[in-house]
């Protein structure tokens, strides 16, 4: 990972804050595609004292194996000018830490939408996710309609980390399809999973009229993001062109 841009603006006249921006390029030398990155940055002054910082997660990134791509590192991070001896960003130094992740993805299955209150649909199988995690099926229970006449459900699934490694993100995605197989809604939830731990997800849909979802289905997928490589860099900023 290489920092390709690190700039600072003049102090704001009203608030005295200095805005910083940073971008970089990640070279993916691994045999896996990068589909998620986590970044943390420490901002130091001329005395190597922390004066700011940020953490960021980006699940929109995609860098193919043996390829390189742009990564956003810092966007409009502000530090007050009085934290620097010169009163400018010239005294700043940034320590950058990044971890890249590969995605393990599975299609869990399809659930019929329960028709009546008390009916329940299940995916009755436990499925391995990339050999590092396991999703423990899924249940959807039809509840009493809301006072507004909307359909209510109680949906539950669990993912457990079967490995000795930390999983940065375990994710479930549900797509609600009508009887013509047109998508009506979708929902996604994600959590961190320490080694040998588990997490229960309770996704939900809102404002669904019973007639609209009659004979519909729910498509369920799951993903986990597993570390590939860690990177560190140090950078000093230059004045922006603005």
77 and 114 both lie in a single domain: no
The pLDDT, as a whole number, for residue 6 is 96
Query: Are 109 and 9 found together in one domain?
Result: no
Mean pLDDT of the chain, nearest integer: 95
Confidence of residue 241 (pLDDT cuts 50, 70, 90): confident
Burial tier of 78 (Cβ tally within 10 Å: 0-12, 13-18, 19+): middle
Token representation of residue 60: 């929109």
pLDDT tens-digit profile of 74-109?
Answer: 888 899 999 999 999 999 999 999 999 999 999 999
Same-domain pairing of 82 and 114:
no
With CA atoms as reference, report the closest residue to 213 among 121, 109, 106.
121
Residues 76 and 141 in one domain: no
Q: How confident is the model at residue 119 (pLDDT cuts 50, 70, 90)?
A: very high
Per-residue pLDDT tens digits for 127-177 = 999 999 999 999 999 999 999 999 999 999 999 999 999 999 999 999 999
Say what the pLDDT of residue 135 is: 98
Residue 25's CATH number: 2.60.40.1820
pLDDT value of residue 76: 80
The tokens describing 125, both together, are: 């199988």
d(CA 159, CA 127): 10
Reply yes or no on whether the pLDDT at 51 is more than 80. Answer: yes
How many domains would you assign to the chain?
Answer: 2
* Whether residue 96 is found in the same domain as residue 109: no
Statement to judge: residues 222 and 109 lie in one domain? yes
Query: Which pLDDT tens digit goes with each residue over 223-232?
Result: 999 999 999 9
The domain spanning residue 208 has which CATH number?
A: 2.60.210.10
**∠ CA 57-58-60, rounded to 5°:** 160
User: Are 6 and 80 in the same domain?
Assistant: yes
Closest CA to 193 of 157, 162, 168, 226: 168
Q: Would you give the DSSP letter of residue 81?
A: G
Structural domain of 42: 2-103+228-239
């Amino acid at each position: 990972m290489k920092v390709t841009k690190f700039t600072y603006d003049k102090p704001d006249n009203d608030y005295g804050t200095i805005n910083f921006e940073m971008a970089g390029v990640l070279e993916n030398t691994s045999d896996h595609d990068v589909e998620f990155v986590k970044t943390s940055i420490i901002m130091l002054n001329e005395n190597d004292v922390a004066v700011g910082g940020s953490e960021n997660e980006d699940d929109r990134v995609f860098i193919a194996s043996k390829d390189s791509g742009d990564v956003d590192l810092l966007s409009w991070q502000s530090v007050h000018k009085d934290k620097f001896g010169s009163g400018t960003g010239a005294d700043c130094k940034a320590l950058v830490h990044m971890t890249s992740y590969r995605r393990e993805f599975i299609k869990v299955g399809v659930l019929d939408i329960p028709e009546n209150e008390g009916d329940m649909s299940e995916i009755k199988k436990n499925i391995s996710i990339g050999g590092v995690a396991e999703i423990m099926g899924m249940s959807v229970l039809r509840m009493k309609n809301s006072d507004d006449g909307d359909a209510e459900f109680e949906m539950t699934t669990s993912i457990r980390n079967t490995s000795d490694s930390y999983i940065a993100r375990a994710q479930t995605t549900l797509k609600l399809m009508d009887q013509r197989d047109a998508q009506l809604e979708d929902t996604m939830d994600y959590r961190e999973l320490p080694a040998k731990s588990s997490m229960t997800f309770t996704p939900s849909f809102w404002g669904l009229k019973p007639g609209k979802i009659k004979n519909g289905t729910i498509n369920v997928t799951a993903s986990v993001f597993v570390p590939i490589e860690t990177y560190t860099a140090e950078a000093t900023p230059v004045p922006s062109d603005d």
